[in-house]
Every structure is written in structure tokens, then in C-alpha cells.
Amino acid sequence: IQVAEWSGVPFSELKEVFLRGRPRVKAFEPQLLLPNLSFDLLATIEAHAMDWPELKVVVQPRRYYPQGGMLSHVLGYVAQANEEELNRDPSLALGDTVGKQGLEVILERTLRGVKGHLQVEVDVVGRNLNRTILAQPEPGNDIMLSIDLDLQALAARQMEDKTGSVIVLDPFSGKLRAFVSKPGYDNNKFVMGIRPDDWRDLVNDPGHPLQNRSIQSAYPPGSVFKLVVGGAALAKGDLDPKRRVFCPGQYRVGNRVFRCWKREGHGHMDFEQAMVQSCDVYFYQLAERVGAEEISAFAKASGFGERTGIELPHERAGLIPDRDWKRRRFGAPWTGGDTLNFAIGQGYTLTTPMQNARFIGALLNGGVLFKPTLLEDAVPLEQGRLRLNETQRKLLLRTMVETVEGARGTAQRLRTKDVVVGGKTGTAQVVKLTEEFEKKPLAEIPYRFRDHAWLASFAQQGERAYVIVAMVEHGGSGGATAGPMIKAILDYLFPQPPK
């Protein structure tokens, strides 16, 4: 009762903590009742130490995250072990902290050391007579992350007022140099038990800050997926890059009309022109020739529709649909319209930013799908290979470079002197806009109706190479929204000499 009065914590709550923990603590051992004491509460307890000799203040080490929200989705957090965790691991004691999210939970055994054992002899009144160390404590292992903190901070600033993800990846090792999901959260609040008000604020936040959007959110990839469709056509041998297709601005299948993003049409397009200008009609017809099953098989072999295996919990696999999936899910056959939506990264297709970064990395490094890793000393792990030969890969890379360097490319703002930069923009439709909003500026369209903005890119100068993928929820155009963000990252990675 006295502790409840001092602390302001309800007596019923303290009693519940005491009764729940009592069976786990020997009679002569202290039981943790109230963690994370304020200085004022500590002073009050110490001032009354003579009145309450059974009440002890125990000093425990406490995890502190100096970067806070900037690395919250990478590191995660620790918190007191719950009943299930205590039952599962006999080495844990009441009040111990364990990893709950991020690297903290995945590398829990690596980071946590081994407790020492101390034998204490006491007399009948509890005075210490002798102490013997039975086993020395062993510290946990240090972990070196692959993250560049300055780059991480820059990427986080670029996403400051946005919702989404930015990933910077070394394509030749799979090591992540920046891994940002916004909004983030302050992981320090969890260390000694998060306050109920803080927890309610987090779970009720419409931005869902606990969600790691780089791996836990799957989105329609939009036109970024045209690289996969083009790859499937090349792998099948059903693509003549010089063959021209006429785009009048729309394409009819049965009684439905599928439009190109450019209403007036692109005119005659070959493969490279269609990729650079992101012509939908060209890819509608290409997907019909290749077939949805072939595209689906190529996408899955390219790492989509499966988890990347990064050292973080709760990763989503995304979705690469096919005829069997639709029949199981909806009890309906695959249609021609499904194939056309598939061709431009819409419809049922869902991918994560991490999957797209791994795929672009494979295009750049010779075709190897490396496991993404946050650990600097991790040995590169090959997970698969693209079904493309060198000529086919280089063709796709050339279209990405032309998308940046070409006069009509959709990612021209990424141009960087003396650096080979390639990109593919994507605008993923969330809902079909009514005529009321269709021609309005982005700022006048309700937020929840705005398209997602994608930009997948790479940059290479000599032996240095990076993959940079940005996805902004409801950001509108990939080039306009994600482009300036990636350009700021390129300027950091490849600084230009002063004029």
C-alpha cells in the first residue's frame, strides 16, 4: 500500500505483479515490484529506508537506443520477459529483459550473455558473512551493423513528413547501407515497460508507426514490375526488342477498355522506348504474348512472392498471382483483364520494397539474388539466380539508364555527373479515381485515394555500386515524389567536386 501511495501506481496493479511473480522467486531473493523509478521516487524510498527495511532499491543495466526512431525498425527493442518467455527459457528470471522486435529478438541469444553465480553465506539475522563467486558472468557478443549511420540519417530526413520506405543496398553482397521505414517510433519507451498512454498512442496512430514498411507492407509495384514482365519475355525468347507496337492511348480486351497512362498515346514504341516512357499499351500486348503463367513463374524465380530472409521478424512474402491461386481464392477463372493488370504491376500483385531492391541488385551484379543482411560480417548468401543471360540483363539495365539519361525518360532528375545511374519509376493505383478527381493536382485528391509512388534505381562508379529503392505511400508520381529523395542520396554517395 505504501509503495502504491508513493508511486501513484494502483495497489491492485502492484498486488497482481507481486502475486504473479512470487512463485518464481525464492524466499530469500528480492522480487522486482516496480521498475524504472524516477529520481523523486527513489529519493522518497531511500528517505524511508529505516521504516521499510524489506524494501530495497536494486540497480540494473538498462538498454538505451541513442538513435531512437531512426533505427527503431532495424534494432527493435527489449522489454521485460512475459510469462510465456519465462516458461520457455529457464535461464530467465523475473524482471529480465528480452528482445521483442527487430534485431533484438532475432539475435536475442547472440546479444544476451550468461549470468554469473554468487554464493552468499549469512547469519541468522541476514548479515553477509562470506561471498564466493561460483561462475563469472559472460557478456553477450557485439554486433556490427552494415548500416551507414550518416546515410541512414539522410534517408530518414528525406522521408521525414512521408509514409513509406527507403532502402540502400550493396548489390554484390546483399548488405544494407540504409534501411528506413517511416513513420518510426521511440524504442526507448519499451525498455522498462511502456506506459499505457504511450501504447495507446502508438496503436491508434493512423500512420501505424510499428509497421516496418520495408518488409511488412506489400504494395502493387506499378510500372517497376515492367522490368519483371520484360525479363519474362526475354527469358522465354518471345521478345524482339526492335519490334514496334502502336499505342493509341488505350487497348481493348473483350468489352473492356484498358487505358495507357498517357491518354493521347505514345505512338509507335519498341521495347526500349516503351520501358523508358513506361508505355502501358506496349506491355499489355507483351504480356498477352508471353502469358500470365510465364510471367508468374519468372517473377517467383526472381524472388517475388517469397520472404527475402532478412534478419528481422514478421516479413511478408507478398503475392504473385496465377490461375490456380485465383481459382482457390475466388473460385473464378483467370481473365484477359487479369493478365493486363498483371503486366503493369496492378491487380492482385503485391511486392515489398525489399524484394524490389534484391531484384534490381541481381540485375546489376550478374544475376545473383543475394540474401539481404543488416550484419557487416555476414558472408554473402546466394539464394537464387535470374533466368536471364548477360545480354538480356544488360538490355534491361540499359533501359533503366535511358530512363534517367534519355530525353523522354521518367527519372531524369537522377542524373549525376560521372556516375552511371539507372531507374524505373512506378505509380501504383490504390483505387480507380472518379472523373471528379482524375485530372486534379495531387494536393486536391483525398490522401487515401492517391497513388503510391515507386522509384527503383541503381548507381555505379567504378567498383562502387548501390541499389536505391524508395516507396512513398499515397505519394502520387514516382519520379516527382521519390526522385528528389533518391537524388539527395546519390549526392551523398557520389559527392561532386566544388565548382
**Four-residue CA torsion sign, 34, 40, 42, 46:** negative
State the DSSP code for 412.
G
- Output the nine-digit C-alpha cell for 390: 548477360
- Output the nine-digit C-alpha cell for 341: 493488370
The Cα 353–Cα 312 span in angstroms is 14
Q: Which of helix, strand or coil describes residue 483?
A: helix
The Cα 55–Cα 31 span in angstroms is 10
The Cα 51–Cα 3 span in angstroms is 12
The Cα 223–Cα 478 span in angstroms is 10
Q: Which of helix, strand or coil describes residue 176?
A: strand
Annotation says 278 is catalytic:
no
The Cα 384–Cα 53 span in angstroms is 64
Residue 170's contacts (CB-CB under 8 Å, 6 or more residues apart) are 146, 176, 177, 361, 465, 466, 467
The Cα 135–Cα 125 span in angstroms is 26
Is 453 in contact with 472 (CB distance < 8 Å)? yes
| Annotated catalytic residue within 72, 146, 223, 457 | 223
Amino acid identity, residue 276?
Answer: V
Place of cell 559472460: 138
The Cα 496–Cα 17 span in angstroms is 60
Angle at 97 (CA atoms; ends 95, 100), nearest 5 degrees: 135
The catalytic residue positions are: 223
